[in-house]
Structure 1
Amino acid sequence: MSPPLVVVLNGPNLNLLGMREPDKYGTATLDDVEALCAEIAEGLGLAIDFRQTNGEGELITWVQECRGRAAGIVINPAGYTTTSIGLMDALLAVDLPVIEVHITNIHRREEFRQHSFVSKAATGVIAGLGVQGYALALEAMAGLIGAEDPDDEA
């Protein structure tokens, strides 16, 4: 039996992680985040599909493709958090568990960053814990979808 698939989606400008405002976002790159997610997923008995795009339409298409393919979605919508009703609608339409991740605590930032359309579709939200939030999201997702830890099998 193949492991449950969790799709990890990243929105605009996250390709600049590690270079863009390291005082806010840290020095880890998106490749570092992908490696962290791969390691955590393997330990949890999950398969992951890790992607990043700067395009809203592409992100929405990827969400729609999760229907019938994935067991859950971890998403850092980045700049689309506060602007994309289309992304929210797509997440609601796929009828999957969704965990929204933000590297910074959006509630301690500028007022316009504090409202998330994506949260309306999210099962849970992790914000302000740096890139470790992705690892926590995968752990939470494993619990939500009932993934079996491969180390528990005899």
Structure 2
Amino acid sequence: MNKQTLLILNGPGVANAVDRPGDATLEQIRQACASSCKALGMKLDFRHTDDAGELLSLVAKASATTSAVKSYAGLIINPASGPKAKSIDAASYQAALERAATAQLPIIEVHIENIFDDSVENADAARRLQASAAGIGFISGLGEFGYQLAIKALHHRLSPGDDAHG
């Protein structure tokens, strides 16, 4: 069986969101995601960038096809965190995700912190980056475990015979 590859993109400020005592590091999150993907028979491409333009470019590349073959089976994205959330143009982000969705790339947006809690730094900026209708799912406030849930959800979505394809 050909392994499906998931792309996990972490945008500006995400590395800083996990540097509080008790939080997993971004590398620990990557390792846990790799382990989950391996257990599910999937491959993983895990990336981080603090450059908003590069993040949008990576979303565009994720939805591109070569010789009618998709590079990625699905996308999990944590677009930004903390003060860096303001660095991403919300309209450009939404447009990039909508193009990816049009290319039939399933997307789940993950936020480590609960962006609906007004005590979270720059929660209002993060809220405007929501994937809206372009995504198939949205996870916020579950810490690093949100990535694990997203991987399992995409695996389920991509599995043959899944009747939850909306």
Q: TM-score, normalised by structure 1?
A: 0.83
Q: Where does residue 45 of structure 1 map in the other structure?
A: 41
Q: Where does residue 138 of structure 2 map in the other structure?
A: 125
RMSD value over aligned CA atoms? 2.2
The answer to whether residue 90 in structure 2 is matched with residue 84 in structure 1 is yes
Report the number of matched residues.
144
Name the CA distance, whole Å, in 2 between partners of 1:81 and 1:36: 28
Name the CA distance, whole Å, in 2 between partners of 1:49 and 1:38: 9
The answer to whether residue 69 in structure 2 is matched with residue 73 in structure 1 is no
The answer to whether residue 47 in structure 2 is matched with residue 36 in structure 1 is no
Which residue of the other structure, out of 106, 117, 125, is the alignment partner of 1:97?
106
State whether residues 11 and 52 of structure 1, in contact with CA within 8 Å, keep that contact through their aligned partners in structure 2: yes
State whether residues 46 and 147 of structure 1, in contact with CA within 8 Å, keep that contact through their aligned partners in structure 2: no
Q: Where does residue 164 of structure 2 map in the other structure?
A: none
- 1:11-35 per-residue CA deviation (whole Å, 9 max, x = no partner) reads 111223432xx27xx5211001100
- Equivalent residue of 2:109, what SS? strand
Per-residue deviation at 1:90? 1.2
Q: Which runs of 5+ in 2 are unaligned?
A: 64-69, 162-166
Per-residue deviation at 1:121? 1.9
Name the CA distance, whole Å, in 1 between partners of 2:71 and 2:125: 34
Q: TM-score, normalised by structure 2?
A: 0.77
Q: Which runs of 5+ in 1 are unaligned?
A: 149-154
Moved over 6 A (4+): none
Letter in 2 for 1:124: G
Name the CA distance, whole Å, in 2 between partners of 1:41 and 1:147: 17
Identity of aligned residues (%): 35
